[in-house]
Amino acid sequence: MGAHMRYGMNPHQAAEVTGGPRVLNGEPSMINYLDALNASALVREADAATGLPAAASFKHVSPAGAAVAGTIDDVASETWRISDEGGLISAYVRARDADPKSSFGDVVALSRPVDVATAEFLRSVICDAVIAPGYEDGAVEVLSEKRAGRFLVFEADAAEPPRRERRDLLGAVLEQDRDAADVAAALPDGLLDEAGRRDALLGMVAARYTQSNSVVLVRDGAAVGIGAGQQNRVDCVRLAGAKARVWWLRRHAFVRELPEVAGMRRQDRLNWQIRFAGEEMTRAQRAEFAELFGAEASDRYADAGWRDAWCADITGVTLVSDGFLPFRDNVDHAAEFGVSTIVEPGGSTRTDEVAAAAAEHGISHVQTGLRLFRH
């Protein structure tokens, strides 16, 4: 019998855990463990593949965002009230900013030890847990004060995971080799420049830890759109693209300069910006939006022209697919989201058609021969 968990998948399910990361604060549930373990593996592999500090924002056993350290742009800096040009904290800000609606209440994974400044930042955002390979003096104390002392702090196990993994499911015992394929070795040399290879590797690692089917869109070292768990691949592309489009539209002046509303919390403002950028409002929300932000903003919401014009300028996006692209419509949709490179296993009966479609759109098409399904 293992150690007691707060509960299993749901509060009515009792649960125990054997092994796993060390719990430094709080009482995790099963989903907390699943998110922490998968997220920790993602950032560990992303750091090893790129040589850069890595972070992930995890929700319901898939990443909402993943990134390596880099410059925090003006919009993210303005949103999260922090500036950084390459430290550990920048990786998480870039990961969270990709899809802040989904990242609300996330598990944070960091590939390197947490310093006090990063701990202070995590205390300022709505997240439920953090997992990292270590904590500098004072960091755990800062984090332990969050959520009235219930914030979850995990310390990742430095040991390599076992070679085999097993799952008990409805009376069946399933066992397989752990997916330890070398993504860097699978990515052909000489086809991508240094930045392109970094983005491809980050996308491949993120796809490995995303519920299949999945597609990851990466730009400048950050996954700006992740389509997870869809039953057909083109829906993955469209979902990832829609998220990347909203991320890009949040950089437009119309979205950035929505009037400030007294007393409105940061997450509420972010949610309104996302609804405005993505044309996601119900009739009731449109009426509330007009009341909060004024007639000019309401009129802009109804005008799609500025969105299409702005999104025509997004470029340099790498699309990584965990499985082969079965039809050219995946490529046609990808082209509308600024994709310049596609990385996929290849090997389908229609891969020649997919490669030809990529060439028509001026998209580099890279085949790895490596499928990265996760269920």
316: its two tokens: 């340099």
312: its two tokens: 């025509």
Question: Does 4 participate in catalysis according to the annotation?
Answer: no
Residue 236 lies inside a defined structural domain of this protein: yes
210 & 306 share domain = no
Q: DSSP label at 198? A: H
Structural domain of 60: 3-177
Whether omega for the bond prior to residue 213 falls within 30 degrees of 0, making it cis, is yes
111 & 194 share domain = no
Single out the catalytic residue among 213, 252, 333, 365: 213
Question: Does 146 participate in catalysis according to the annotation?
Answer: no
CA angle, residues 286, 290, 294, in degrees to nearest 5? 155
241 & 356 share domain = yes
165 & 73 share domain = yes
Question: Does 60 participate in catalysis according to the annotation?
Answer: yes
Question: Does 271 participate in catalysis according to the annotation?
Answer: no
At 361-373, the pLDDT tens digits run: 999 999 999 999 9
Using alpha carbons, select from 163, 160, 126, 165 the residue that is nearest to residue 146. 126
Residue 365 pLDDT = 98
Residue 374 lies inside a defined structural domain of this protein: no
Single out the catalytic residue among 25, 32, 59, 252: 59
214 & 280 share domain = no
Helix and strand counts by DSSP (H, E) for the chain: 15, 15
At 59-83, the pLDDT tens digits run: 999 999 999 999 999 999 999 998 8
Residue-wise burial string across 105-144, b where 16 or more C-beta atoms lie within 10 A, e elsewhere: ebbbbbbbebbbbbbebbeebebbbbbbbebeeebbebbb
196 & 212 share domain = yes
Residue 3 pLDDT = 86
Q: What does the pLDDT profile of the chain (375 residues) look like in tens digits?
A: 678 999 999 999 999 999 999 999 999 999 999 999 999 999 999 999 999 999 999 999 999 999 999 999 999 999 999 887 778 999 999 999 999 999 999 999 999 999 999 999 999 999 999 999 999 999 999 999 999 999 999 999 888 889 999 999 999 999 999 999 999 999 999 999 999 999 999 999 999 999 999 999 999 999 999 999 999 999 999 999 999 999 999 999 999 999 999 999 999 999 999 999 999 999 999 999 999 999 999 999 998 799 999 999 999 999 999 999 999 999 999 999 999 999 999 999 999 999 999 999 999 999 999 999 999
172 & 188 share domain = no
What are residue 145's phi and psi, to 5 degrees? -80, -15
Q: How many domains does the chain have?
A: 3
Choosing from 130, 145, 177, the residue where a domain stops is 177
Q: Are 206 and 66 in contact (CB under 8 A)?
A: yes
Choosing from 269, 293, 311, the residue where a domain stops is 311
Residue-wise burial string across 282-303, b where 16 or more C-beta atoms lie within 10 A, e elsewhere: eeebeeebeebbeeebbebbee
The Cα 58–Cα 139 span in angstroms is 21
CA torsion angle 110 116 117 119 (round to 10)? 50
Q: What is the pTM of this model?
A: 0.96
Residue 187 pLDDT = 96
220 & 277 share domain = no
Residue 373 lies inside a defined structural domain of this protein: no
91 & 222 share domain = no
Choosing from 146, 177, 208, the residue where a domain stops is 177
